[in-house]
Amino acid sequence: MTLVNVWFIIIAVLWTGFFVLEGFDFGVGILHRYLARDEADRLTVINTIGPLWDGNEVWLVVAGAAMFAAFPGWYATMFSAMYLALALVLVALILRGVAFEFRGRDTGTGWRRTWSILLVVGSVVAPFLIGVALGDLLQGLPIGSDQEYAGTFWDLLQPYALWVGITLVAICNLHGATFIALKTTGEVRDRAKKLAKRLAPFVAVIVAVFAIWTHVIAGKGVLPNIVEIAAILAIVAAAWFAGEERDGWAFALTTFVMAATIVSIFTELFPRVMVSTNGPATDLTISNTASGSYTLKLMTVIFVIIFPVVAAYQAWTYHTFRRRLSRAEFENPAEE
């Protein structure tokens, strides 16, 4: 296996890590109003990710940086083609971050309601548009022989790509619900568990359609592979575990579903990194977009040194803030 292959796998792992970790953050952001009956409930839900969300976003930064350094041709074409969409992703992520910080700056009901709505919007828009971008990589975009994008913003909004965005938002909701159930007590936990059970059948159908469509787009027939079938079964199992007081297992299963979804896109994409609608001759591949061997060797050394430190720090963070939260800790705030 060459370093070019290794770095494609590393980038796939980084994107998977981002969606596994930030996926439940997005889900919490989307559900924090729906699962709450008052401000104490909302604060309980939001604070389940309070010490975690900004660290989870590091995976997105590292994934983008790895693409830039390891596959500059891929990075240049993808980011120029999706410039407006990725700018909207950046706005959505900024709104989420600002909402977390600004929501508690004032006790006024209008102020808190506004930032809560922006938190929901940002938490939906970011995974949806990133999903559209990942779907476009596999479905194909108009790319010339010079590796330049020859389309418009509207060419990005293809049916399969839109479905990938919908799939990731749906999984984020289920992933968030199981995480909230894992991290809270009392009525908030009960509502999260019930929501997970109700969401699971719908998410299973969405993921099944995604799996079949992905294979069709990749030219590999209709039947999903064993990992994708396991992901669909995992959703059903997560719903059962959520109702059986097995919150840890339910969350682990939705984690697997999210990981399997992202991995399936990169698996079907390899050895290409962007499919061209102008024919296979103009596809971007790991070979024609990669950096030189010296750059890849240097990056590998840096990655081997730094990644374990980052992983250890995040593991320590999750261990430190592992306890469940109760609404009693947040009672008597100004009511909305």
DSSP 191-218: HHHHHHHHHHHHHHHHHHHHHHHHHHHT
DSSP 92-127: HHHHHHHHHHHGGG---HHHHHHHHHHHHHHHHHHH
Strands 284-285 and 272-274, by their bridges, are antiparallel
Q: Distance between CA 172 and CA 180 in Å, rounded?
A: 12
Q: Distance between CA 112 and CA 238 in Å, rounded?
A: 33
Cα–Cα separations (whole angstroms), residue 194 to 190, 191, 241, 246, 250? 6, 5, 11, 13, 12
CATH code of 3-330, in short, is 1.20.1630.10
Region for 333 from its dihedrals, namely left if φ exceeds 0, alpha if ψ lies in -120 to 50, beta otherwise? beta
CA-closest candidate to residue 59, choices 13, 93, 14: 14
Q: pLDDT (tens digit, 9 = 90+) per residue, 214-256?
A: 989 988 877 777 888 888 888 888 888 877 778 889 999 999 9
> Which pLDDT does position 336 carry in this prediction?
47
Q: pLDDT (tens digit, 9 = 90+) per residue, 20-35?
A: 999 999 999 999 989 9
pTM, two decimals, is: 0.92
Q: pLDDT exceeding 90 applies to what percent of the chain?
A: 58
> Which pLDDT does position 63 carry in this prediction?
93
CB contact at 8 A, 142 and 149: yes
Q: pLDDT (tens digit, 9 = 90+) per residue, 136-189?
A: 999 999 998 888 888 888 889 999 999 999 999 999 999 999 999 999 998 999
Q: Residue ranges of the domains in the chain?
A: 3-330
